[in-house]
Amino acid sequence: MTLLEKDKRVCVEIEKYKPDLSAYKFVVLRGSLKVVTDPQERAIVIKRMAEEGEQKLSTNFLAAHGFKKEEGWSSFTPEKPLVIVKLENVAQEIGLKSP
């Protein structure tokens, strides 16, 4: 039994801030994770992640997650054994931003 199967509860934090914290935004969501098992939904998500990653992230992200950096975002495909999860059953939302 994997940890995800044992306990699906998570707390997700999304943040945006300036290095000196003169401006910041934080959102915290508490909910649970669900593994995406539908092949079509999974493929759509992976394709969108690859497109967004290519536009907004360094290829260092790929290397940090077990992909070959030199292959670029084209290596991020549905054929890879990726576990895709989605946040559901959000029980709490907390937000904080600078004045």
Are residues 48 and 24 part of one domain? no
66 Rama class: left (phi>0) / alpha (psi -120 to 50) / beta: left
- Overall domain count for the chain: 2
The pLDDT of residue 6 is 81
Q: What are the pLDDT digits (tens) for 49-82?
A: 999 999 999 889 888 988 888 888 888 889 888 8
pTM higher than 0.95 for the full model?
no
Are residues 65 and 43 part of one domain? yes
The pLDDT of residue 67 is 85
Range of the domain at 32: 1-36+84-99
Are residues 63 and 27 part of one domain? no
Are residues 57 and 32 part of one domain? no
Are residues 61 and 25 part of one domain? no
The pLDDT of residue 82 is 86
Are residues 43 and 79 part of one domain? yes
- Cα(76)–Cα(72) distance, rounded to whole angstroms? 8
- Cα(47)–Cα(49) distance, rounded to whole angstroms? 5
Query: Does residue 24 register a pLDDT over 70?
Result: yes
